[in-house]
Amino acid sequence: MAERKLTLNDPESGKNLDLPVVAGSEGDPTLDISGLHKELGYFTFDPGYGTTASCKSDITFIDGGKGILRYRGYPIEQLAEQSSFLEVAYLLLYGELPSAAEFTGFERDITYHTMVHEKLNTFMQGFHYNAHPMAILSGVVGSMAAFYHDKLDVNDPEQRDLAAKRLIAKMPTIAAAAYRHSQGWPSAYPKNSLGYSERFLHMMFSVPAEPYEVNPVAARVLDLLFILHADHEQNASTSTVRLVGSTGANPYACTAAGIAALWGPAHGGANEAVLNMLNQIGTVRNVPEFIKRAKDKDDPFRLMGFGHRVYKNHDPRATIIRKACHDVLQELGKQDELLDLAMKLEEIALEDEYFVDRKLYPNVDFYSGIIYKALGIPTSMFTAMFAIGRTVGWVSQWLEQSNTPTRIGRPRQVYTGATERDYVAIEKR
Ligand code: ACO
């Protein structure tokens, strides 16, 4: 079959340029424009990178039009139903589902890396008691390079693998410690006898005064949420990790940058913003007023947890979480008026012309906060929960990039400032 290409004719120079379609296994055709500037002298302008593929990747596939999400080819629905977070982590990192022996080894490695350097706990004590957990998380993770610098050589595949495992293992320990710091509780050390999600719940909620039994329903749904958040191809935080990684920076610095990017309300911070919004709306009666505000271009209010850059049909993660939300509240014997409110909001928005025309649907964050709330996790910790799951995606993408010859990420701009002018001495201005 002939190579697919788009031929560009530049009337200015009279030159033609073939833009080849880059071979991918599925997805929309993507033009290789890397020769455009060299051959014709043009850059491309794509604010927000809405039509730009920044890299090739084997990890995650999304078809936003059809509402498809697959990790390494496996549909998210199957992984959510049948897998575990650590197995998904292995899959994302290494490309294949593990054999039983491989999984045992991986689980052991992660378990034995969950403790953090004691001095890191001391470092955490320096934060004010009401510091936001995401501020603590990005600060402490960034500082990990100072604690685990023994042989940190990003050119050594074994060192890279060790750093990836350390990040996956220690992120829940650090996130739970950030919460305990805000409560004034003593540190809780990871328990090796527990699984990944159970261990996190234990580190969050156990106190020295009494025994703490992990609720298996809570641990299961948390594992599910971590699976659903594990990777999402080149989203803002992952692209940040790759951009920082392209400079050769250490993986802790790259991940700290990813955490900072995730914190924004347009990205991972939306789960916290959704719950704050639902509380602000208060009752089903107020829904129409807030829908009206969301449509008003002069009002900065947006329906948080609604809309997505890529999904224009439905977010498959939101479908799974919506169902899990109902199941978990029922299994835990809890009722939450916010769930009724969220459903009413969804119902009205999905019938409204504004949202229909713009293809705005609930995203992964619309219902996740209601589950976290049911587990007793405070709103300020929601984005940190997202960060725990997404760490797997960040390090998998960082490993993939590190295994591939990569140029430093360096976008250009359209300069719109003053053209050349002469300096004027201060007394003459
Ligand atoms: N409420 C009201 N209007 C919205 C919303 C919303 N939540 N989202 C998009 N729109 C409108 C925009 O105003 C715009 O309208 P216009 O065409 O009349 O100007 C149109 O829909 C397209 O929106 P964009 O902002 O151009 O879409 P973009 O792809 O740049 O942004 C984003 C996507 C950031 C997710 C946006 O939908 C948003 O801010 N949603 C709320 C925050 C949120 O839930 N973020 C989590 C995303 S998922 C994740 O990161 C885990």
Enclosing H/E stretch for 7: strand 5-10
Chain segment 104-122, per-residue pLDDT in tens: 999 999 999 999 999 988 8
Chain segment 28-85, per-residue pLDDT in tens: 999 999 999 999 999 999 999 999 999 999 999 999 999 999 999 999 999 999 999 9
- What is the largest distance, in Å, between two alpha-carbon atoms of the chain? 80
Enclosing H/E stretch for 197: helix 196-205
Query: Is residue 307 within 6 Å of ligand 1 at its C-beta?
Result: yes
Query: Is residue 294 within 6 Å of ligand 1 at its C-beta?
Result: yes
Is pLDDT at 149 greater than 90 in this prediction? no
User: Residue with the nearest Cα to atom 14 of ligand 1?
Assistant: 358
Q: What is the mean pLDDT of the chain?
A: 95
Inter-residue contact 140 to 259 (CB < 8 Å):
no
Query: Is residue 302 within 6 Å of ligand 1 at its C-beta?
Result: yes
Among 90-94, 128-132, 146-150, 311-315, top mean pLDDT goes to: 90-94
Is pLDDT at 280 greater than 70 in this prediction? yes
Phi (first) and psi of residue 210, to 5 degrees: -150, 160
Residues 6+ apart with CB under 8 A from 98: 87, 90, 91, 106
Q: How far apart are CA 370 and CA 327, in angstroms?
A: 12
CA of 354 to the centre of ligand 1 (A): 12
Q: How far apart are CA 164 and CA 139, in angstroms?
A: 18
Looking at residue 423, its pLDDT comes to 98
Just list the catalytic residues.
267, 308, 365
Query: Is residue 277 within 6 Å of ligand 1 at its C-beta?
Result: no
Inter-residue contact 224 to 385 (CB < 8 Å):
no
Residue 417 — very low, low, confident or very high, per pLDDT cuts 50/70/90? very high
Ligand 1 atom nearest residue 294's Cα: 2
User: Residue with the nearest Cα to atom 13 of ligand 1?
Assistant: 297
Region of 176 (left: φ > 0; alpha: ψ -120 to 50; beta: rest) is alpha
As given in the structure block, the two tokens for residue 27 are 């997805």
User: Residue with the nearest Cα to atom 37 of ligand 1?
Assistant: 307
CA of 68 to the centre of ligand 1 (A): 19
Query: Is residue 292 within 6 Å of ligand 1 at its C-beta?
Result: no
Is pLDDT at 1 greater than 80 in this prediction? no
Residue ranges and CATH numbers for the domains of the chain are 5-40+54-68 (2.20.28)
Looking at residue 224, its pLDDT comes to 98
Chain segment 219-266, per-residue pLDDT in tens: 999 999 999 999 999 999 999 999 999 999 999 999 999 999 999 999
User: Residue with the nearest Cα to atom 41 of ligand 1?
Assistant: 304
User: Residue with the nearest Cα to atom 35 of ligand 1?
Assistant: 308
CA of 229 to the centre of ligand 1 (A): 19
Ligand 1 atom nearest residue 274's Cα: 44
Looking at residue 375, its pLDDT comes to 95
Looking at residue 334, its pLDDT comes to 87
Inter-residue contact 342 to 299 (CB < 8 Å):
no
Looking at residue 121, its pLDDT comes to 85
Is pLDDT at 420 greater than 80 in this prediction? yes
Q: Nearest 5 degrees, angle CA 320-CA 323-CA 326?
A: 150
Looking at residue 122, its pLDDT comes to 86
Higher-pLDDT residue of 1, 101: 101
Chain segment 357-367, per-residue pLDDT in tens: 999 999 999 99
Chain segment 354-398, per-residue pLDDT in tens: 999 999 999 999 999 999 999 999 999 999 999 999 999 999 999
315-322 mean pLDDT: 95
Is pLDDT at 163 greater than 90 in this prediction? yes
Q: How far apart are CA 72 and CA 68, in angstroms?
A: 13
**CA neighbor of 178 nearest in space, from 204, 196, 199, 202:** 204
3-state secondary structure 40-100: HCCCCCCHHHCCCCCCCCCCEEEECCCCEEEECCEEHHHHHHHCCHHHHHHHHHHCCCCCH
Looking at residue 41, its pLDDT comes to 94
| Lowest mean per-residue pLDDT among 148-152, 182-186, 385-389, 400-404 | 148-152
Query: Is residue 349 within 6 Å of ligand 1 at its C-beta?
Result: no
Inter-residue contact 227 to 389 (CB < 8 Å):
yes
**Strand 60-63 to strand 68-71: parallel, antiparallel, or no bridges (unpaired)?**
antiparallel
Residue 339 — very low, low, confident or very high, per pLDDT cuts 50/70/90? confident
Q: How far is CA 84 from the centre of its chain?
A: 18
Reduce the DSSP state of residue 335 to 3 states and report it: coil
- In DSSP notation, 83-145 reads --HHHHHHHHHHSSPPPHHHHHHHHHHHHHT-S--HHHHHHHTTS-TT--HHHHHHHHHHHHH
Q: How far apart are CA 372 and CA 387, in angstroms?
A: 14
Residues 6+ apart with CB under 8 A from 309: 48, 50, 64
CA of 306 to the centre of ligand 1 (A): 7
User: Residue with the nearest Cα to atom 46 of ligand 1?
Assistant: 267
CA 49 vs CA 118, 194, 285, 361: distances in Å: 42, 42, 39, 21
DSSP 297: T
Looking at residue 148, its pLDDT comes to 84
CA 248 vs CA 37, 171, 396, 401: distances in Å: 26, 22, 16, 10
Higher-pLDDT residue of 150, 299: 299
CA of 42 to the centre of ligand 1 (A): 30
Which of 360, 382, 385 maximizes ligand 1 atoms within 8 Å of its Cβ, making it the mutation to test the pocket? 360
